Structure 1
Amino acid sequence: MSLECEDSMEKTYALGFDVYGTLVDPLALAEPLQALVGEQAARFAKLWRSKQLEYSFRRGLMRRYADFDVCTRQALRYTQQALRCELPESDQGRLLEAYLYLPLFPEVAASLSALKAQGHQLVAFTNGVEASIRALLTNVDVLSQLEDVVSVDDLRTFKPDPVVYAHLARRTEHTPNETWLVSSNAWDVIGAKAAGLRAAWVKRQPDALFDPWDVEPDIVVNGLDELPTWFAQRSG
C-alpha cells in the first residue's frame, strides 16, 4: 500500500503519534505483575489493557465521560475480580504509578529524532490525560522531541470519535490530508481514515490482524524506524 509521490520536495506533515502501544508498551506491566500474581502476570496485563480500552469506548458511546486515568483504575479493579487475585491498595497504587514509567519501544527515540529532522511536526495524540502523558513521556525522555500533547480530554470523548481526529488537525493547523495518525491500534487507524486523515499502522506483532472493514492504512510498518525512509522517498 502506498501513496503517489506528490507536492513539493520539501513536503512535511503533522504526525500524531498514539502513545499506548505505539510509543510505549503497556503490556510490559507483566514484569512488575509477576511478583504479585505469578504465572497470571501476562494474562493480567493483557486483560487490564483490553478492559481499559473497552471502558473508554463504552464511555464515549454512552456520553458518560470519565477520563482515561479513571478507565485505567476501573479496569484494574475488574481484572482483579476476573482473575480472582485481589491486590492490596498499596500494590494497586504502585501498578497505577507504573503507568507513568512504561518503557519505550526500542526504536522510538531515534525514529522521532529522524522524523523531526525532516521537518515534520510531531505531537502525541492520545486518549490519555495530558498531565499523565506529559509525565510519562518526560520519564522516558522523549517529550522534548514532540511539539505538543493533544489529548481527547479536551473534548471529553475518546478515539475513535471523528471529532477527536478533526481536533488533531486543527491543533496542528494542518488540513486532514496533511495530518497523519501513527498507531499500532487498527481501530485507531480506521478511525483516522474515516475522519479523512492519513494513517500509518505500526504492526508490532507479526500475527496482528487489521479489521476487514474495507479501509486500509496508507502505509504498514513494523516499527517507527521505517517511517523516516518512507517519507524521504516520497519527498525526493
Structure 2
Amino acid sequence: MTRVRPEVVAFDVNETLLDLAPVRAALIEAGRPGELLRPVFGRTLLIGFATSMTGGWCRFREAFDDALAQETDLDPARRATIADAFGELTPHPDVEPAMRRLTEAGIRVITLTHGSPGVAEAGLTRGGITSLVEYSLSSETIRAWKPAREVYLWAAGRCGVAPDRMALVAAHGWDVLGAQRAGLTGAWFPRVEQAYPAAFEAPHVLAPDLAGAVDGLLALPA
C-alpha cells in the first residue's frame, strides 16, 4: 500500500519526546546507579505488555513500581519518589523544531502514550510547546498498552481520521510495528535503540534522527 502524507502525526512520549534524565537522577539520589534505568524501564514494559496480552491491565506507574521492586531493594516510599520524577521530564532539544515544522505544514500533532496521564502535558508545558499539540492521549483511558492495535485505532478515532491518514513517530521499534499493523504510517529514528529490529517489518520511514523522521513524513505524496 502506498503511504500518503498524514493529516495527524502522533508522537510517542517517554524517550521519544521526553528525556528520562530526572528519573535517572532520582535513582542516583536513592543510591542506585543511573544505568539501572534501562533494565527498570525495560522490565516496566515487559510487565505492562504481559499483563495486557493475557487479558489483564495495570497502570504504567504500577508496572514501574513492580519493576523497581524486582530490580532493587528500595522501600515503597523511595520507589514512589523515583516514580514521581516522571512529572519532571523535559523535551529533548530537537522536539520543538520538529513539531513546529509539522504544524507549519498544516499537519496536526498529538502525543500518544500508555504512560501516566499528565506526564506528557507537564513535559510539554515545561518545554513551552503545549500550543503545538492538539491532544495528549494516554491509553490508560481505554485500559490498554501499546503496541495493542486498539490503542492506535482509538487515537485515530479521537482525531477523526482514518488510520492511514495518521502517522506515529517513535524511537521504539515495537511501537512503530504496532502502529503499522494497525494501518498507520510508522516513522522510526534512533534515540536509545541504535538499530531497528530486523525481526520486524521495515518501518515506512527510517531516519537517522527526529528531524529526518519528520522530513520523511513530509516527503510522502499528499
C-alpha spacing 1:227/1:211, structure 2 compared with 1 (3 Å): closer
* TM score, norm. by length of structure 2: 0.88
Answering whether residue 28 of structure 2 is matched by residue 34 of structure 1, we say yes
2:207 corresponds to which residue?
221
Structure 1 residue 75, shift from structure 2 partner:
1.8
1:59-103 deviation per Cα after TM superposition (whole angstroms, max 9, x unaligned): 11122212112212222222214xxxx2572x4333222111123
Answering whether residue 130 of structure 2 is matched by residue 143 of structure 1, we say yes
1:153 corresponds to which residue?
140
1:52 corresponds to which residue?
44
CA contact (8 A) 1:16 1:124 kept: yes
* TM score, norm. by length of structure 1: 0.83
Partner AA of 2:29 in structure 1: A
Partner AA of 1:191 in structure 2: G
2:185 corresponds to which residue?
198
How many correspondences in the alignment? 222
**Structure with bigger gyration radius:** 1
1:230 corresponds to which residue?
216
Structure 2: unaligned runs, 5 residues or longer: none
1:110 corresponds to which residue?
97
Partner AA of 1:204 in structure 2: R
1:16-65 deviation per Cα after TM superposition (whole angstroms, max 9, x unaligned): 10001200122663334333325x221x1112111111111011112221
State the distance in 1 between where 2:199 and 2:160 align.
Answer: 29
1:167 corresponds to which residue?
154
2:118 corresponds to which residue?
131
C-alpha spacing 1:113/1:52, structure 2 compared with 1 (3 Å): same
C-alpha spacing 1:185/1:62, structure 2 compared with 1 (3 Å): same
Give % identity: 23
1:78 corresponds to which residue?
70
Structure 1: unaligned runs, 5 residues or longer: none
Partner AA of 1:41 in structure 2: G
C-alpha spacing 1:214/1:75, structure 2 compared with 1 (3 Å): closer
CA contact (8 A) 1:162 1:191 kept: yes
Partner AA of 1:69 in structure 2: R
User: Runs of 4 or more off by more than 6 Å in structure 1?
Assistant: none
CA contact (8 A) 1:100 1:139 kept: no
CA contact (8 A) 1:160 1:188 kept: yes
State the distance in 1 between where 2:66 and 2:29 align.
Answer: 21
Structure 1 residue 137, shift from structure 2 partner:
2.8
Question: What secondary structure, in the 3-state scheme, does the structure 2 residue paired with 1:97 have?
Answer: helix
Structure 1 residue 155, shift from structure 2 partner:
1.5
State the distance in 2 between where 1:153 and 1:104 align.
Answer: 22
